[in-house]
Amino acid sequence: MKSGSIVFLSLGALAAAAPQVTLTPLSGPIPPVRSSEVTGPTSHGPFSGTPTVTGALSRPATAMSIAPAGSPVVTYTNDNGDLQATYMPVPYQPAGGQGLNGTTPYYHPLSDFDYESLTLALYQEWIELDLFHNGLARFSVQDFEAAGLTAEDRFLIEFMADQEVGHATLLSNILGPAAPPQCTYNYPYNTVREFIDFCQKLTRFGESGVYGFLGHLDSRESATLLLQSISTEARQQLIFRQFDGLFPMPVWFEVGVPQSFAWTLLAPYISSCPANTTRLAWQNFPSLTILNQPNPAKTNPNLGTPQPATGSNPLNSSGIADSNRCIHASGESSDCGPAISQNRSIPLSYPGRPIHLSWGNVNQTVGPNNSYVTSRSPLADAPRYAMFLSQLNATYVPLLNISGNTASVIQPNMSTFAGDPAVNGTIFISVVSQNPYVTPFNVSMVLPYVWAGPSLYQAG
Ligand SMILES: *[C@@H]1O[C@H](CO)[C@@H](O)[C@H](O)[C@H]1NC(C)=O
Ligand SMILES: *[C@@H]1O[C@H](CO)[C@@H](O)[C@H](O)[C@H]1NC(C)=O
Ligand SMILES: *[C@@H]1O[C@H](CO)[C@@H](O)[C@H](O)[C@H]1NC(C)=O
Ligand SMILES: *[C@@H]1O[C@H](CO)[C@@H](O)[C@H](O)[C@H]1NC(C)=O
Ligand SMILES: *[C@@H]1O[C@H](CO)[C@@H](O)[C@H](O)[C@H]1NC(C)=O
Ligand SMILES: *[C@@H]1O[C@H](CO)[C@@H](O)[C@H](O)[C@H]1NC(C)=O
Ligand SMILES: *[C@@H]1O[C@H](CO)[C@@H](O)[C@H](O)[C@H]1NC(C)=O
Ligand SMILES: *[C@@H]1O[C@H](CO)[C@@H](O)[C@H](O)[C@H]1NC(C)=O
Ligand SMILES: *[C@@H]1O[C@H](CO)[C@@H](O)[C@H](O)[C@H]1NC(C)=O
Ligand SMILES: *[C@@H]1O[C@H](CO)[C@@H](O)[C@H](O)[C@H]1NC(C)=O
Ligand SMILES: *[C@@H]1O[C@H](CO)[C@@H](O)[C@H](O)[C@H]1NC(C)=O
């Protein structure tokens, strides 16, 4: 007998005896458009072949940048706290809101913007599914225990991988038949600590990449479902910070970044995708390397040879003096083992810290099958500023000592509200040619001026 009919019969029988049982769904679960079990690859490593197609999906552009268009027409204000409308649609429902007039929700993209944004999110969910499994498979129980992670912690990582099955299924169903499948990946970590730090960084740009477009989607229905999965991803990011011995949430607000920032950070870790995988329209900017990335595996991040990190590459657990290794350091504020919360005796970064940068070139191949190409707009005519994108803020700091593909910049002292330092946690730095004033809902206006990056900066 088919399992579908078992569900039907048992629910039917229960209904008579126990009326509280909800009689749905009668037909059993709807299979996902893409199943991770069917497409899941087993190999990892770099791609060494020739791409069959190159470049982002595109159509002729009608302009090189979006012109500022002034303020919107605002038809509602409320200064007295009372209801402003004469009527309510139904009792207890204030007038207004979208999607509340009885129209059946339509949980699918309504524009190319929606489709490309949700497809990028699916590329992200697939790598997370593979990554969490890969870390568990690659390292031994002894390796994990040496990094302070127990069997229960490993089960949590496994559970997070399972969550990704759900997220990938959800997005595949939203996108429909051309939803991209899982790809093959190439990871930059060699130790458990580096794996955990990479997860902490990858989930940061996964989460922030979605916040950057969520409020801009045409499909509010899709946005609602996506937020319900990205809220879970936000918790994953926090848990990986805890496993990494970092203060779990050193910010008051989580930053949102444009899709091309997320894609620039994600693409280098996808080595190849199956033939005919749906491609993306987002830009791959030239890479950005932070030559002196603060290292959370050190007690004093200011000691020892500065360690570089490109894009989202993790901390480097080699080349640290034993006396400066914080994982098993004694003293409550010096140790950095996994914990619910960790105070660091010496913060990872500080306002006034010199940050040294180097960047890659245009026309370099990246991403699946090396089939995407780095580029920048002609409006990005020279490297002039570092943009620090964190919390609610985008702050531009002039570059110093620009020489060839390198420059330096001083970490700014800026706050969100009430003195809360805006530069903390895992943040985004890009090199840009202009410094347009942008706020969380129009941050994409900076894209024509991006020279390189972003790279993730481990500010705290
Ligand atoms: C409900 O709102 C949608 C979107 O604004 C609109 O297209 C539709 O016509 C409305 N339906 C009714 C019954 O008013
Ligand atoms: C990418 O490479 C894989 C492995 O060599 C190959 O099977 C696939 O067809 C390639 N995809 C594209 C789009 O070229
Ligand atoms: C890829 O698409 C082409 C053209 O639609 C088709 O002929 C080919 O069979 C597809 N390959 C795979 C592996 O799906
Ligand atoms: C760490 O640095 C060593 C060289 O000191 C290098 O071989 C290794 O790839 C680096 N690891 C990471 C994760 O960057
Ligand atoms: C943790 O750090 C905060 C601020 O940096 C400090 O006020 C607090 O005393 C520290 N607590 C411990 C137990 O180290
Ligand atoms: C980041 O936040 C932590 C926890 O409040 C604090 O100890 C640290 O000094 C902050 N770092 C910076 C760069 O502000
Ligand atoms: C990059 O490639 C484009 C198109 O092939 C070419 O016009 C341009 O000169 C190249 N730029 C550099 C810096 O190589
Ligand atoms: C810029 O170069 C000068 C001269 O070498 C040096 O003194 C200064 O520290 C550099 N600035 C930064 C931010 O690295
Ligand atoms: C940063 O600015 C705040 C005021 O907003 C000030 O209290 C603090 O001392 C400054 N920190 C540094 C290192 O300049
Ligand atoms: C950061 O953003 C908040 C909220 O928009 C704003 O109040 C604050 O002034 C900004 N801080 C800086 C340094 O731009
Ligand atoms: C972005 O929005 C702010 C208002 O929040 C506005 O002042 C600014 O001019 C806008 N930036 C651009 C580049 O349009």
Parallel, antiparallel, or unpaired for β 426-432 and 406-410? unpaired
Total length of the chain: 460
Q: Which residue's CA is minimally distant from atom 14 of ligand 8?
A: 408
The residues, any chain, with a CB within 8 Å of residue 185's CB and separated by 6 or more, are 44, 127, 130, 131, 134, 269, 270, 271
The residues, any chain, with a CB within 8 Å of residue 378's CB and separated by 6 or more, are 64
Q: Is the CB of 276 under 6 A from ligand 3?
A: yes
DSSP structural state of residue 140: -
Among the residue ranges 41-55, 179-193, 303-317, the one predicted with the least confidence is: 41-55
Residue 359 has what pLDDT? 98
**For residue 12, pLDDT beyond 50:** no
Residue 334 has what pLDDT? 81
User: What's the whole-number mean pLDDT along residues 57-69?
Assistant: 95
The neighbour count for residue 26, using CB atoms within 10 Å, is 11
| Whole-prediction pTM | 0.92
Instruction: Indicate which atom in ligand 9 lies nearest the CA of residue 415.
Output: 5
Name the burial class of residue 177, with classes exposed (0-12), middle (13-18) and buried (19+) by CB atoms within 10 angstroms of its CB: exposed
User: What's the whole-number mean pLDDT along residues 111-126?
Assistant: 98
User: What's the whole-number mean pLDDT along residues 20-33?
Assistant: 55
CA pair distance 264, 246, nearest whole angstrom: 25
CA pair distance 305, 292, nearest whole angstrom: 9
pLDDT digits (tens, 9 = 90+) for 288-332: 999 999 999 999 999 999 999 999 999 999 999 999 999 888 877
Three-state DSSP state, 64: coil
Closest by Cα among 320, 316, 216, 300 to 259: 216
pLDDT digits (tens, 9 = 90+) for 120-152: 999 999 999 999 999 999 999 999 999 999 999
Residue 151 has what pLDDT? 98
**Cα 74 to middle of ligand 4, angstroms:** 54
- Percent of the chain whose pLDDT exceeds 70: 92
Closest by Cα among 192, 234, 241 to 344: 241
CA pair distance 271, 117, nearest whole angstrom: 21
**Cα 210 to middle of ligand 10, angstroms:** 21
What are the phi and psi torsion angles at 355 (to 5°)?
Answer: -120, 130
Which ligand has an atom closest to residue 457 CA? Answer: 6
* Spatial contact of 316 and 307, defined as CB atoms under 8 Å apart: yes
What are the phi and psi torsion angles at 281 (to 5°)?
Answer: -100, 0
Closest by Cα among 339, 336, 318 to 327: 336
Ligand 11 pocket at CB < 6 A: 68, 436-439, 442, 445
Residue 42 has what pLDDT? 67
Residue 4 has what pLDDT? 35
Instruction: Indicate which atom in ligand 7 lies nearest the CA of residue 375.
Output: 1
CA pair distance 174, 162, nearest whole angstrom: 19
Q: How confident is residue 211, by pLDDT bands cut at 50, 70 and 90?
A: very high
User: What's the whole-number mean pLDDT along residues 242-256?
Assistant: 97
User: What's the whole-number mean pLDDT along residues 182-189?
Assistant: 97
Mutation pick for ligand 10 pocket among 252, 392, 438 (CB with most ligand atoms within 8 Å):
392
DSSP secondary structure letters along 289-342: EETT---TTBSSTTSSS---EETT-----SS--GGGB-TT-SSTTT--SS-S--
H/E segment holding residue 170? helix 151-175
* Spatial contact of 270 and 123, defined as CB atoms under 8 Å apart: yes
Residue 117 has what pLDDT? 98
User: What's the whole-number mean pLDDT along residues 155-164?
Assistant: 97
Residues 66, 67, 73, 76: what is their CA dihedral angle, to the nearest 10 degrees?
Answer: 50
Tracing tokens 């099958």 back to the chain, one arrives at 369
**For residue 282, pLDDT beyond 80:** yes
Tracing tokens 């790279």 back to the chain, one arrives at 455
Q: Is the CB of 333 under 6 A from ligand 5?
A: yes
pLDDT digits (tens, 9 = 90+) for 347-380: 999 999 999 999 999 999 999 999 999 999 999 9
Ramachandran sector of residue 186 (left: φ over 0; alpha: ψ -120 to 50; beta: rest): beta
Q: Is the CB of 292 under 6 A from ligand 10?
A: no
Name the burial class of residue 103, with classes exposed (0-12), middle (13-18) and buried (19+) by CB atoms within 10 angstroms of its CB: exposed
Residue 393 has what pLDDT? 95
DSSP secondary structure letters along 297-308: TBSSTTSSS---
Closest by Cα among 241, 239, 230, 228 to 208: 230
Closest by Cα among 124, 118, 126 to 217: 118
DSSP E strands in 273-359: the ranges are 288-290, 309-310, 354-359
Average pLDDT, the chain: 92
